[in-house]
A and B are shown apart, each in its own frame.
Chain A
Amino acid sequence: MKSERSRLLVLIAAVALVAAWQIPAFAYLKLGTKVGTRTVTLKWSQLPIRYFITDRGVSGVTSTQLQQAVQAAFATWDGVTTATVSSQFAGFTLANPTSGDGATVIGFQNRPDLDRTLGATSFMIDTVTGAIVESDIFFNSSFAWSVSAQGETGFFDLQSIALHEIGHLHGLAHSAMGETELRAGGRRVIAAEAVMFPVAFASGTILGRTLRADDIAGIGDIYPSASYTRETGSISGKVTKSGKGVLGAHVVAFDTRTQTLVGGFSLSDDGSFVIAGLSPGPHVLRVEPLDDGDVESFFDPTLNIDINFRPQFYEKVVVVPQGGGTSGVELKVVAK
């Protein structure tokens, strides 16, 4: 009876997954930096994060509107109850959003040499201590921007891009939780289940203003609140191919009750992975290679990321305990 129920659960989950996986998946990752021979997570030791706004607008967006859009984006991250991040607008400045002044500055900058780059976040890091000295965000004024509440055809939504970049500023790297298509003119996002997906939505949409489960799990992982520790759980295990660990495999956990997706990567040579910040309850796991994009957008280029394997579902449903973890999962994949 028990095994029948288990099989049924698997079937239900698999059916749900087939539907959900049309909007595929990946997971959050954290920014790190090398300190000596160690690699440590990039995170702010002092909160709130105090930021300045460059007092310079662009066509269609004043500096005041820029400040409001950035403040709204910060507020979205600050509003995550499972994280402790907070921010504070420190005022307008004439400084550019570049490094070297010790202040965190956000603003427009004309960088035609950074073609196809809507915005970027930079850090000045003390390599002795690993501390963040400052972090800046620039929005490339080579593009057309909008702060319209409904979005504006032909213009990129400033608040959406700010939300993504502020995720980096907090220490989140990219999520691969998205699906793209190829066409003349480049790759285009079909769907994204994470603000931290690196490919921008097409201009004219404001879909990027809302955090998803993957983003929320990620920010809670870096800045856990008491409720994060108390209310969420984790899954850990290994991804193996012919008995050896797979580095850089993407493991996605699908919550069959909430229909949300959160994931992680195998981040060591033995294929170990941990997906934290999960809602308690049954999850279905899937592993797939990061073979559809710019691996460097996710990993240090010196790592030998394995992208030569076929996607694979885990044969069992994994139940995540509240405030705890389920370990020992082994996802076995085969080469293409």
Chain B
Amino acid sequence: MRRLILIVILLVCAHEVRATVLLPAEFREIVAGSQVIVYGRVAAVRAEWSDDRTRIDTIVTVTAGSYLKGGPGGTVTFRVPGGQIGRYRNVVVGAPQFQAGEEAVLFLSASGGPSIAHVFGLSQGVFRVKVDAQRGTRLVVPPVLMAQGDGEVPQPVTRGDTTRRQLSLDQFAATVRQAMSSGRAQ
């Protein structure tokens, strides 16, 4: 029985997951720290060695659907750590991964790094857009975590909070605009 349980664990627990130590931002800080916020579809993904050949990065090209901040341009290109060249895959734990055809709202920054943009806060600036099979609407994942008021009073984040729901794409865009209109996200 014990052996069977261990085998089951090995089979089911090994999803491809990622992790690192982060300092999570409040949503308005993600908005404020991003020069470009774009909703689009991933058109191309290409792994390459960094200029100094010490690491593999993936260059992601997105066909822009609409810009919530920054732009313009028909496509946006950014870099994420990790990728696969040949039979070897470099997995940077915590870095987002993309596949052609995926939709997302991306919060991109160009500060502090190479000339090509990167995702704000490693994966904090990636909000996936998934189609609700039942209603056919586009939902944004994960839910937004935005403090009420000016955020000066700490607010516990409770799992299962019934007020925290996945937003439709339109609701998410409205939330971004609301964040931009507040002082910290200018």
Contact = CB atoms under 8 A, between A and B. Distances in A.
A and B: partners?
A: yes
Interface of A: 24, 29-34, 39-42, 96, 98-100, 111-128, 133, 142, 161, 164-165, 168, 173-174, 179-188, 190, 196, 198-200, 221, 224, 229, 234, 236, 250, 264, 267-268, 272, 274, 276, 288-305, 307-311, 323-325, 336
Interface in B61-85: 81-82, 84
Given A127-B87, A272-B12, A184 B122 contact: no
Interface of B: 1-2, 5-6, 8-10, 12-26, 29, 33, 53-56, 81-82, 84, 87-97, 99, 102, 109, 111-114, 118, 120-124, 126, 128, 130, 141-143, 145-147, 150-162, 164-166, 184
> Secondary structure of the B side of the interface?
loop
A294 B92 contact: no
Contacts of B53: 100
Nearest to B149: A184
Contact of A185 (B15, B26, B95, B142): B26
A81 to B, nearest CB: 18
A289 to B, nearest CB: 6
Contacts of B22: 116-118, 198-200, 294, 297
B23 A183 contact: no
A30 B170 CA distance: 36
A230 to B, nearest CB: 9
Contacts of A165: 20-21
25 contacts: A24-B159, A33-B89, A115-B122, A118-B22, A122-B82, A127-B88, A133-B88, A181-B154, A183-B26, A186-B24, A187-B157, A198-B22, A200-B21, A268-B12, A274-B12, A276-B5, A293-B142, A294-B24, A296-B18, A298-B17, A299-B17, A300-B16, A301-B96, A325-B1, A325-B2
B156 A181 contact: yes
Given A127-B88, A294-B24, 13 more contacts: A34-B16, A41-B10, A100-B55, A115-B109, A118-B21, A123-B90, A161-B21, A187-B157, A198-B20, A236-B8, A274-B5, A305-B141, A311-B159
A308 B157 contact: no
Q: A-B pairs with the 10 shortest C-beta distances? A: A113-B113, A32-B14, A112-B112, A184-B151, A311-B160, A120-B20, A187-B24, A98-B54, A41-B14, A182-B147
A164 B21 contact: yes
Contacts of A276: 5-6, 9
Nearest to B19: A174
B58 to A, nearest CB: 13
B17 A31 contact: yes
Contacts of A39: 14-16
Contact of B26 (A34, A161, A186, A296): A186
Contacts of A174: 17, 19
Given A120-B20, A300-B16, A307 B143 contact: yes
Contact of A301 (B5, B111, B128, B164): B128
B99 A125 contact: no
A119 B21 contact: yes
> Which of B5, B25, B123, B155 neighbours the largest number of chain A CB atoms within 10 Å of its CB?
B5
B164 to A, nearest CB: 6
Nearest to B24: A187
B91 A125 contact: yes
A29 to B, nearest CB: 6
A246 to B, nearest CB: 13
Given A182-B154, A274-B5, A324-B1, A291 B16 contact: no
B26 A120 contact: no
Contacts of B20: 117-121, 165, 168, 198
Contacts of B82: 122
B19 A196 contact: yes
Contacts of A125: 88-91
A123 B24 CA distance: 23
A175 B16 CA distance: 14
A174 B87 CA distance: 26
A188, A236, A291 pick with most chain B CB within 10 angstroms: A291
Contacts of A300: 15-17, 97
